[in-house]
Structure 1
């Protein structure tokens, strides 16, 4: 398990534990500040977005999460004179300015995040590094904080792992073949939109676990029976579209 993955697990684990304590404590009167149930829920969500955005160096995520927190807790903060549109307008200007300042850091971070390992070749940005091909012909696609288009073209496609966090990705499998008659696409997707383009004769076996996510299929499948592709893993707070082409 990578260091980023371990950090993410620790962060979200502690965050949800702290959220449970805050939620219970607010109802039991442990805190002097009285907040409504929905203020607490949305406040926790926005706080998580803020810290996540810091880790991802996302200026819009940082600024707008703080802006919505300010709107949500305007009365306790004593800023009721500021109307929501004023706060959001200032957030927009701050977001644009910070995005320009942080752009070099974002590009450097994305160059490590937007990568694909296909048939033994690792591509990061515009560079290509050749590595030893895995014995199981595993395809690994990692998308983080950005848009990505990937083409998987393998004569013997068997398995793929797609890791997407806060991004949009289009992945084309129409150039691949499955001579074994069976393959697996495993997802770990959070907060984003993922589109899979597969041949019309592929049969998708949906075993995907979802939370606040939508799965749709577009296109017409071929009449003849083709290989079976098991769709496994999990997707939360996003949208998955399977195109048959």
Structure 2
């Protein structure tokens, strides 16, 4: 089972638990329990665990801040404005990132005269080699320009952030390519050259997938098979 599939299962179970808590909040049998708060906490716990795996202190601080705001009174913080609480947790996360955050390490690989820079700091955000690439964005805003000769296989994974990807300057392997795209609850924009011929196999949950423009219909062009998995986010595909 792939990492993205496991992640989608966890998110799916969290959404089901969220829905159950919302239903129970309208029931007469659980009036003493803050079911809506518990529902939001379930989602925040999932976000926290994902950011813990990513080793993002700032990402972990945000769901902790949200949960603290939900239980202000119980924690004795009822007199503090929620904006102050969130700012405090963001500053704590930023401070921990500065203290314990690891600097990115890069290795430079030269093969057949082409130089590839690969990020090897724990988990690479972007990696490419010999027509393959892997792009992973968990939280925050990011723009990535992909320029690969004879692209064979690629993976784009956007969890909760805002990601924009440009394929200008990329060429496709004559035998075609496979592109796996996974968008959780974030916003993803992908810009293809209009000369690209792309077929889409989309699995859309509660989100939205938008197409802007049309791909090439020239059958002599190599085909890109795009496998798209969208959860609750928004994906926009552009052909320009």
TM-score, normalised relative to structure 2: 0.68
2:228 is the alignment partner of 1:233: yes
Give the deviation of 1:169 after TM superposition: 4.8
2:130: which partner in 1? 119
Q: What secondary structure, in the 3-state scheme, does the structure 2 residue paired with 1:184 have?
A: strand
Q: CA–CA distance in 2 between the matches of 1:200 and 1:222?
A: 5
Unaligned 5+ segments in structure 1 are 121-138
In structure 2, C-alpha distance between the alignment counterparts of 1:221 and 1:21, rounded to whole Å: 38
- Secondary structure of 2:218 counterpart: coil
1:243 matched to which residue of 2? 238
1:98 is displaced (CA, Å) by 1.9
Structure 1 residue 178 displacement after superposition: 5.6
Q: In the aligned structure 1, how far is the partner of 2:13 from the partner of 2:45?
A: 9
Q: State the Cα distance separating 1:170 from its structure 2 match.
A: 1.8
Q: Number of aligned pairs? A: 219
Does residue 99 of structure 1 match 2:127?
A: no
Query: Could you tell me which residue of structure 1 aligns to residue 41 of structure 2?
Result: 43
Shift of 1:20: 7.3
Q: 1:196 aligns with which of 179, 186, 190?
A: 190
- State the alpha-carbon separation in 2 of the partners of residues 47 and 39 from structure 1: 12
Distance 1:51 1:17 in 2: 15
Mapped to 2, the partners of 1:20 and 1:223 lie a distance apart of 42
Q: Cα 1:151–1:16, aligned 2, differ >3 Å: closer, same or farther?
A: closer
Structure 2 unaligned blocks of 5 or more: 106-119
**Within 1, Cα distance between the matches of 2:185 and 2:4?**
19
**Residue 141 (str. 1) matches residue 117 (str. 2):** no
Map 1:152-171 to 2 at 5 A.
Answer: 152-155=147-150, 157-167=151-161, 168-171=163-166
Pairing partner for 1:79 from 61, 65, 77 = 77
Report how far residue 152 of structure 1 moved.
4.0
Q: Which residue of 1 aligns with 2:207?
A: 213
**2:205 partner SS:** strand
- Aligned CA RMSD, in angstroms, stands at 4.0
The equivalences for 1:13-32 within 5 A come to 16=14, 19=17, 23=21, 29=29
User: How far is the alpha carbon of 1:232 from its aligned partner?
Assistant: 1.4
Aligned residue number for residue 186 of structure 1: 180
The structure whose residues are more often helix, as a share, is: 1
Residues 192 and 238 in structure 2, CA contact (< 8 A), matched pair in contact too: yes
